[in-house]
Amino acid sequence: MGLLRIMMPPKLQLLSILAFGVSMLFIENQIQKLEESRTKLERTIARHEVREVEQRHTQDGVRDTPPLAEAEDVVIIYNRVPKTASTSFTNIAYDLCGKNHFHVLHINTTKNNPVMSLQDQVRFVRNVTSWREMKPGFYHGHVAFLDFSKYGVRGKPVYINVVRDPIQRLVSYYYFLRFGDDYRPGLRRRKQGDKKTFDECVSAGGSDCASEKLWLQIPFFCGHYSECWNVGSRWALDQAKYNLLNEYLLVGVTEELEDFIMMLEAALPRFFKGATGLYKTGKKSHLRKTTEKKPPTKESVAKLQQSDIWKMENEFYEFALEQFQFVRAHAVREKDGELYLLAQNFFYEKIYPKVN
């Protein structure tokens, strides 16, 4: 007796496909809602913890508290530019904070808006400078540079940052919005479902790959002035250069991240002792990788390079790269393909008056 072959009518097949599609959309929607609920819960818990610490700080303020030791009274702010290997670097700080005894805090702004309101600027500056329980502290987040000297507080944080080739940064961000990364692969991204490649976007004159989208690293370093966010502003470029030289201890480049980490370990061992070894051997050194990323063609790159915006962003990147390489040249030496930190190269002499 032969096997019965049951054929599903075409209408039922179509209904089954539609039902499956609706089910998948429903599941994705539920995952997104769960992710949003988790984020809200994390923020609520964080606010509650901050209030508890602030209450303790207020109560302690009534009593005389001894000043912190100089080595402990330090705050680093890493106002990270999106898609510059910032997650890879930040995870090193998270891995080291327990061993090196410092605090790591993420600055989570609403909708990742890098510009704070005036009242939030004041709150943030006061928190950073007076929050004893969180010192020494490493703050990181997608926030534009803030000049602490404007707010009448004592002491300034140590700023660090990393920049990246502007076109490579934009390409990475373009695919990140569509395909996400291997850090949270299940999270639905804003442009998920759009299969258009970066080259196709450039060819079609799309908004997500327009030259205006390159304007990001300059305003992040320029800060909270309105002119910083006027695309193509020469004043913003000059201010960003000024801040890089005068307000940042060190600005590295994504393409030479290991050298950046090595130099931070040498300059700030209180925070970064062991960072270089961790970066070379740790599993999290390249934790976040954008998926489905395709390198742009020479034609797409050439088209973007025709814009004045690219020329300005690239000028800033080259400026940062030159400064980083200058600092590195005076801090390390290369031998057999490996970099070695220079020993201390100054000492004191002719000290008067003489001590008997």
Which residues participate in catalysis according to the annotation?
Answer: 140, 142
Instruction: Measure Cα distances from 145 to 51, 87, 111, 353 in Å.
Output: 25, 18, 18, 45
Which residues fall within 8 angstroms of residue 75, CB to CB, at 6 or more apart? 128, 129, 135, 136, 137, 138, 139, 157, 158
Roughly what angle, to the nearest 10 degrees, separates helices 308-329 and 298-305? Answer: 100
Instruction: Evaluate the CA torsion angle 91, 93, 97, 102 in order and state its sign.
Output: negative
Question: What is residue 63's DSSP assignment?
Answer: S
Question: What is residue 273's DSSP assignment?
Answer: T
Which residues fall within 8 angstroms of residue 136, CB to CB, at 6 or more apart? 71, 72, 73, 74, 75, 76, 101, 102, 103, 270, 271
Q: Distance between CA atoms of 167 and 84, rounded to whole angstroms?
A: 11
Residue written as tokens 């005389």?
64
Q: What one-character-per-residue DSSP string does 215-252 give?
A: TTHHHHHH-SSGGGGSTT-HHHHHHHHHHHHHHEEEEE
Q: Distance between CA atoms of 312 and 106, rounded to whole angstroms?
A: 30
Q: What one-character-per-residue DSSP string does 133-178 give?
A: GG-SEEEE-S-----GGGGT-S--PEEEEEE--HHHHHHHHHHHHH
Q: Distance between CA atoms of 259 and 271, rounded to whole angstroms?
A: 16
Question: What is residue 214's DSSP assignment?
Answer: G
Alpha-carbon 7 to chain mean position = 56
Question: What is residue 183's DSSP assignment?
Answer: S
